[in-house]
Amino acid sequence: MKKKKLLLISVAMTLSLLGLLSVQFYWTRRIFAIGEDFITHSAHLAMEEVVAALDKDVSSARWLRVQNLRKLDLELDSVDARIAVLRYAYPQVLHEDCGLVWNGDGSYSLVEEKIRSMKWSDTVNGVALTGSFIQADEDDSGILPDTLRNRIEETYRQLQQKRNDLMYARRVLNQMLRSSLSQAPEREVGSKISPRELDSLITAALVAHNLKTACEWGVYSSYSSKLLLQKTGRYGLKLLQSPLVYRLFPSQPTDYPTYLMLYFPNRLTFIFAQMWYLVVASLVLFVLLIYIFVYTVVSIWRQKKLTEMKSDFINHVTHEIKTPVSTIALVCESLDDPDMHYDQEGLQELFRIIRHENQRLQSLSGQIIQISKMEKGDYFLNKTEFSLHKAIEEAVNNTGFQVMHKNGRIVTHLEAENDLVTGDRTHIVHIISNLIDNANKYCTEKPLIEIFTRNGEGGIYVDVKDNGIGIAKANQKKIFEKLYRVPTGNLHDVKGFGLGLSYVASIMKQHGGRVWVESEYAAKTSDKNQPKTGSVFHLFFVQEKS
């Protein structure tokens, strides 16, 4: 698949993922918006009940004042009627010269002039009484005994005192009623609303509408522009900014209304508790979609890269196979040619060429089989306990001739006191041989390969150091991948298929160990892309505790 097509597929998948994530994010926000609407709607219903209950209490108190005022008016009328009777009957005794007029609404009014006749009405013990009398032209009070005169004067003074008391009570009650009807109801808030009862009333109403979460409330007065009451006093600013505002005492006309304000400090927690399964499902889908997308894109590009590497490998193998096959074919043709005559030494040389090319073919077939095993991961490991130092010495003996052929040296510093490890000795010898072989191949000067061992916590370290061309930092994480070869431009002067280091990493992983590399850039050159000389490959083998 071409790179452009893969790029288009990746872009399409990215756009699709972003679209799905946008839709999922939109519906997640809608879930929380629905939760907010539920809180607002339930709070409105609950506060309507609270406001109605408070308004009913205050209206009942106001109605009681009206009733008391009416009773005072009736009692005052009765006292005025009795005073008028005494004035009419005994004007000279009382030294009063005024009369009483009966109004059409059933009340009485005192007047300055005398009234010769009048009608009266009164209610005694719930029974309505009416009557009339005519004022006499002549006053005969002067012939009354002194005891009667004194009793009449005393009765009159008591009635006058009672009338004054009733008038005072009437003025006070009327003022209270007028104040409650026209001024800010802050006194009702302070005297009629108990914070504990208000909190209990609000909590009960919210619970009845399934709002079982912490609620902060406050009572705000537009008359004094402040919060008169608060539940805890910790959310004053939040209350003033809250959209949940309800007028108290709506039936009471006033220029300075009082408001009840609500704030839910844990509303997001409450919404999440109500809809946690939807939120968790959305988050799981988020993570799953992102994981699938990343895994798919990475797998596609990795597969493309692996395909290209395998294609290069096949081309390289084909080229490598073509040379020994052609050489063997030429030798066979020369042997089959009747015009060619070889002596014993010539035949031995031809046989040597055939054996050498045959070994090359066997090596190529072995590496191809090795690729198959690495992909399947089905190495057969015959684990035994052995001396790692002796395995290193065997690997040095196997590769020493190749290093000496380039006038190089292999120096060992086997300093580990405990060199016993458990594993497959053959594979471990091979991986050390591979590291030595790579150090030899990627050295442009006389190779100097040093091998160090030391004991560490939980195992033994093996370091293979060389003076080769080094590895650029961008390639250090890729060299342990299958079929990967460090790019060298158009030059192919180093033979190999990119299998050695991936084989080392695979064997170390199956033995429970690990491998990593350190390589630097040249300090003398101004080109930062030029690698420094030398690399160090570190191996760590786990040792069983004795």
pLDDT at 257: 82
The two structure tokens encoding residue 479: 């060299």
Query: pLDDT by residue (tens digit) across 224-274?
Result: 888 888 888 888 888 999 999 998 877 776 777 888 999 999 888 888 887
The residues, ordered by sequence, that sit 6+ positions from 186 with a Cβ below 8 Å of its Cβ are: 221, 223, 224, 228, 258
* Confidence bin at 118 (pLDDT 50/70/90): low
Domain ranges of the chain: 52-182, 186-268, 283-369, 379-542
Secondary structure of residue 534 in the 3-state scheme: strand
Q: Given the DSSP bridges, would you call strands 127-134 and 216-221 parallel, antiparallel or unpaired?
A: unpaired
The CA distance from 422 to 32, in Å, is 59
The CA distance from 467 to 470, in Å, is 8
* Confidence bin at 138 (pLDDT 50/70/90): very low
Distances (CA, A) of 249 to 48, 180, 189, 202, 328: 11, 11, 10, 15, 111
* Confidence bin at 430 (pLDDT 50/70/90): confident
Cross-strand partners of 516: 538
* Confidence bin at 522 (pLDDT 50/70/90): very low
The CA distance from 316 to 368, in Å, is 12
Report DSSP letters for 400-419, one per residue: HHHHHHTT-EEEEEE--S--
180-204 in b/e form (b: 16+ CB < 10 A) is beeebbeebbeeebeeeebeebbbe
Cβ–Cβ < 8 Å for 133, 88: yes
How far does the chain reach from its first CA to its final CA, in angstroms? Answer: 55
pLDDT at 422: 92
The residues, ordered by sequence, that sit 6+ positions from 370 with a Cβ below 8 Å of its Cβ are: 499, 503
Helix (H) / strand (E) element for 258: namely: strand 258-263
Cβ–Cβ < 8 Å for 398, 468: no
Average pLDDT for the chain: 76
Spell out the alpha helix ranges (H) of 90-194: 91-94, 146-182, 186-192
For 379-542, CATH number? Answer: 3.30.565.10
The CA distance from 65 to 63, in Å, is 5
Window from 129-133, 238-242, 478-482 with minimum mean pLDDT: 129-133
CATH 1.10.287.130 describes domain 283-369: yes
The CA distance from 25 to 3, in Å, is 32
* Confidence bin at 109 (pLDDT 50/70/90): low
Residue 483: how many CB atoms within 10 A of its CB?
A: 19
Max Cα distance, the chain (Å)? 192
Distance of CA 222 to the CA centre of its chain: 39
pTM above 0.85, yes or no: no
pLDDT for 200 beyond 60: yes
pLDDT at 137: 44
The CA distance from 322 to 333, in Å, is 16
